[in-house]
Amino acid sequence: MTNLDSVLAQVDANFDDSLKRLVTLVGFKSISTDPDYKEECQKAAEWIANELNGIGIDTRVHETPGHPMVVGHDSDTADKPGPHVLFYAHYDVQPVDPLELWDDDPFNAKVFEKDGVKMIFGRGSSDDKGQMLTFVEACRAYKEVHGSLPIAVSILFEGEEESGSPSLLPFLNAHKDELSKDLALVCDTTMFDPETPAITTMLRGLMGEEIIITAANRDLHSGAYGGPAANPIKILSRILADLHDDNGRVQIPGFYDGVEELAPDVKAQWDALPFDDAEFLRDVGLSIPAGETGYSVYEQLNARPTCEFNGITGGYTGSGFKTVIASQASAKISCRLVGKQDPDKIRENLRAFVEERLPADCSVDYIEHGSAPGHSLSADFPPLQKGAAALKDEWGKDTIMMGMGGSIPIVSEFKDILGMDSMLIGYALETDNIHSPNEKYNLESYHKGIRSWVRVLAALAE
Amino acid sequence: MTNLDSVLAQVDANFDDSLKRLVTLVGFKSISTDPDYKEECQKAAEWIANELNGIGIDTRVHETPGHPMVVGHDSDTADKPGPHVLFYAHYDVQPVDPLELWDDDPFNAKVFEKDGVKMIFGRGSSDDKGQMLTFVEACRAYKEVHGSLPIAVSILFEGEEESGSPSLLPFLNAHKDELSKDLALVCDTTMFDPETPAITTMLRGLMGEEIIITAANRDLHSGAYGGPAANPIKILSRILADLHDDNGRVQIPGFYDGVEELAPDVKAQWDALPFDDAEFLRDVGLSIPAGETGYSVYEQLNARPTCEFNGITGGYTGSGFKTVIASQASAKISCRLVGKQDPDKIRENLRAFVEERLPADCSVDYIEHGSAPGHSLSADFPPLQKGAAALKDEWGKDTIMMGMGGSIPIVSEFKDILGMDSMLIGYALETDNIHSPNEKYNLESYHKGIRSWVRVLAALAE
């Protein structure tokens, strides 16, 4: 047996024990949003720290104003080949309401079989306790077989991911030196489908802005003022209408600065994906892709920036009718960002765009609602190529370089504060019911997930 | 003394008694919206019916499901010259909240003097009890002097004008023969200013419509769907933005059918009015007329149709932010109509306008919110010329043919159901605080109002 094969064999041999540990971890009701479960969060953190210490990763539970951070470093990180990695996952879980929709106790994890597929049931089984333990169990197998890990490994486990991570930023800033490594490995994403491994290499960023147009100094009667009085709903509508052309292109000046077309090989891979545009839209009652023309739905979702209107309000919105001309109207706008788009520059240009269209006797106020740039790993980033090859070895299919329409804040925080890129590898499935009743994690996700990390660690050492 | 002069002298001689009667009428707390004041409405109706009977106008109080209608006919209407007129006013009043903003008891009417102007204080002193009694007292003076009125007069006093007139339509339909006369006289409007009499010859009509755009079959996450999923706020904004061109012209096909330019003499009169565009706008914090270019503010307000957006809502409108793509967005739209614009045709064309711009996978629902055509009296309508001349005789200034931006539903109902035009003459002022605390009616409005009706009745007989 090669070094690698012996570790994989150890994973297989120990899988029943790995499963027992996942059942134990799911048993902690570590619901981070609910203060009633504070002690359960603490217990979960201590349990996992104890496990890490047990396999030779020196680990401490750090108290925070919220739930603890678990930070560990392999006892032996000197003179290793490859990058020093910081593995990130979170031990907290979503609330379980409505409890009556669960088929069983969410915290009493059990293995069951459905349609010939074995799964482990329970809140957090997938998001993110199952995913977290794939890495821990991979490390355990290495340590058991070889007494050491192939590369230098540090660990950061958070307990507030499901409640907005209030303690994360201060913690990263306070522990910058300790946590700044060469590469973050994040295990909180999905495969492309149950057979096809994926690395999420693109995450869209976000720029949120609220625009409040004020016209008259009070609400007016449309009989007495309709016509000569400026109507803020009209002004706002015209601004919003101007924000896209007929091809769905965003018209904010400079909006596409830093947006790159897909690399040809990624484009070829995406075009070949079994992603059904019609089915994706049909599922939500639609049939016509509404994004930029010239891009597939999958590209529109994952690789193209957007400017979406998330809310609008003005005037009388109750039932019936009121012949009012409102003083104010407002809209909440968010731009999903990709590549090197600069959220601050886009906010500034959006404001200029609004003000250019504002009558001189009206005014505008803004409320900022967050900003984060997009994230993307270049297709020729060496760890990415190594990781993709390792996953292909395990799953027998090409690894998809996946995009994700939403944001994972940790990724930009690792980049901004710790100066590291993140490689997002996960084994969850869209069907895992994360954040919903009856969450599950396929046994195959767990078992082959552990094996996958064994291979990725070996590959990164090369 | 001429016939007319002796009646005017009688008005002057009896003015103190006329004032006492107004004080008595204001004393009834006839707030029609509030069921607690039902009996007060009944008493007001009975008091005014009694007054009319006392001067020889045979009057009955008709019960309705709401507050009573008061209907009277002069005992002597046969073989009179001129038109048979139906005089309309209302004896109900607005609520008085917030009571603490009143300087005195709203129902204990008192004469007071402010800046050298004598006024009568109290809820309804202007709207519409004071205005109502100008006509009753004019009839009284005629009867006292000559024993008869110069033309045939009937009366309709309503008690639900301030609460949407729910009983009016059925009542008009049920008493069509009794109430259909040659001309309605309505006393519920203002003068142009305290010195300048006016007849309101144009009222804008109204077509109200709610448009509800549905895109996806549920609210979507903008990270997971932003781009390819249709956004109903975007669709709605683009439709609203298309509804006006850059000159403020409404773009609904056929919208201007039936809209006529002002008659040259009315236009000349309006251009000469001491109406200050800048002051009108400054009062509400604006400075740039927002209606159709090429028309004065006064024309935009009174003689031009509009398409206003009275309310808009969609997506997340609370505080903070939610990255949602809404399933629905809706807008409440009202068109003020003038001349012969057809509300039904405009509604139909607006819907076609919306549907032309609706993506094929989205849908639209509508809620109708009323429709009434505009009203206008032709400048050469003989009673109008006679009325204007009579008012000029009393006030010493040319009578302004005024427009009013809003609607008075009674006018279109008289036209539709009873087949009569309405001539709107009133002596209220913009500063009367109708519908607000400290309502008042200038003694001059009341006194010269009575004298004005004496002259108008005489003029109509010619």
**pLDDT tens readout for residues B123-134:** 999 999 999 999
- Among all residues of chain B, which has the CA nearest to that of A405? B223
Query: A100 vs B183, which has greater pLDDT?
Result: B183
| List of chain A residues whose C-beta atoms are within 8 Å of the C-beta of residue B280 | 228
**Rg value, chain A, Cα:** 25
**Rg value, chain B, Cα:** 25
Query: B440 vs B380, which has greater pLDDT?
Result: B440
pLDDT value at residue B370: 85
Query: A8 vs A302, which has greater pLDDT?
Result: A8
Interface mutation vs chain B, best among A323, A338, A435, most B CBs within 10 Å: A323
Q: Is the Cβ of A247 closer than 8 Å to some Cβ of chain B?
A: no
Interface mutation vs chain B, best among A281, A286, A288, A347, most B CBs within 10 Å: A286
Cβ pair B82, B150 in contact under 8 A: yes
Q: How far is CA B119 from the centre of its chain?
A: 23
Picking from A397, A24, A431, A436, the residue whose alpha carbon sits closest to that of residue A199 is: A397
When pLDDT is cut at 50, 70 and 90, the band that residue B363 belongs to is: very high
Per-residue pLDDT for A97 more than 90? no
pLDDT value at residue A299: 93
Q: Is the Cβ of A225 closer than 8 Å to some Cβ of chain B?
A: yes
Picking from A164, A176, A162, the residue whose alpha carbon sits closest to that of residue A127 is: A162
Q: For chains A and B, what is the number of CB pairs under 8 angstroms?
A: 283
pLDDT value at residue A316: 92
pLDDT value at residue A246: 96
Closest residue to B336, CB basis, from A218, A222, A241 = A222
pLDDT value at residue B224: 86
pLDDT value at residue A404: 85
pLDDT value at residue B330: 98
Per-residue pLDDT for A6 more than 70? yes
Sequential DSSP letters for A105-165: -TTS-EEEEETTEEEEESTTTTTTHHHHHHHHHHHHHHHHHHSS-SS-EEEEEES-GGGT-
pLDDT value at residue B252: 98
Q: Which of these ranges, A36-45, A177-186, B8-17, B370-379, has the smallest mean pLDDT?
A: B370-379
| List of chain B residues whose C-beta atoms are within 8 Å of the C-beta of residue A210 | 321
Question: Residue A286 and residue B216: Cβ atoms within 8 Å?
Answer: yes
B438 conformational bin, left if phi > 0, alpha if psi -120 to 50, beta if neither: left
The fraction of chain B above a pLDDT of 90, given in percent, is 86
Task: Find residues 250-309 of chain A whose CB sits inside 8 Å of chain B.
Answer: 277, 280-281, 284-292, 297, 300-301, 304, 306, 308-309
Per-residue pLDDT for B310 more than 80? yes
- What ipTM is given for this predicted complex? 0.85
Cβ pair B180, B418 in contact under 8 A: yes
When pLDDT is cut at 50, 70 and 90, the band that residue A406 belongs to is: confident
pLDDT value at residue B364: 98
Q: Is the Cβ of B227 closer than 8 Å to some Cβ of chain A?
A: yes
Per-residue pLDDT for A84 more than 70? yes
- Among all residues of chain B, which has the CA nearest to that of A329? B312
Query: B61 vs B406, which has greater pLDDT?
Result: B61
Closest residue to A284, CB basis, from B216, B297, B323 = B216
Q: What is the pLDDT of residues A415-438, one digit of tens each?
A: 999 999 999 999 999 899 998 899
Q: What is the pLDDT of residues B243-271, one digit of tens each?
A: 999 999 999 999 999 999 998 988 999 99
Q: Which domains does chain B have, with CATH numbers?
A: 3-203+374-461 (3.40.630.10), 205-259+305-370 (3.30.70.360)
When pLDDT is cut at 50, 70 and 90, the band that residue B164 belongs to is: confident
SS3 A38: helix
Closest residue to B315, CB basis, from A215, A311, A315 = A311
User: Measured between CA atoms, how close is B199 to chain A, in angstroms?
Assistant: 17
Per-residue pLDDT for A243 more than 70? yes
Question: Residue A310 and residue B332: Cβ atoms within 8 Å?
Answer: no
pLDDT value at residue B323: 85
Task: Kindly state the tokens that stand for B139.
Answer: 């009839």
pLDDT value at residue A1: 63
The fraction of chain B above a pLDDT of 70, given in percent, is 100
Closest residue to A218, CB basis, from B284, B326, B332 = B284
Query: What is the rounded CA–CA span in Å between residue B64 and residue B159?
Result: 10
Interface mutation vs chain A, best among B237, B242, B280, most A CBs within 10 Å: B237
pLDDT value at residue B1: 62
Query: A167 vs A319, which has greater pLDDT?
Result: A167
| List of chain A residues whose C-beta atoms are within 8 Å of the C-beta of residue B229 | 281, 284, 286, 290
Secondary element (H or E) of residue B458: helix B443-461
**Average pLDDT, rounded, for chain A:** 95
Per-residue pLDDT for A129 more than 90? yes
Q: Is the Cβ of A417 closer than 8 Å to some Cβ of chain B?
A: no
Per-residue pLDDT for B73 more than 90? yes
| List of chain A residues whose C-beta atoms are within 8 Å of the C-beta of residue B224 | 301, 405-406
Closest residue to B324, CB basis, from A225, A310, A317 = A310
How many other C-beta atoms are found inside a 10 Å radius of the C-beta of residue A419? 11
User: Measured between CA atoms, how close is B117 to chain A, in angstroms?
Assistant: 26
Picking from A402, A359, A259, the residue whose alpha carbon sits closest to that of residue B290 is: A359
User: Measured between CA atoms, how close is A301 to chain B, in angstroms?
Assistant: 6
Query: What is the rounded CA–CA span in Å between residue A227 and residue B228?
Result: 37
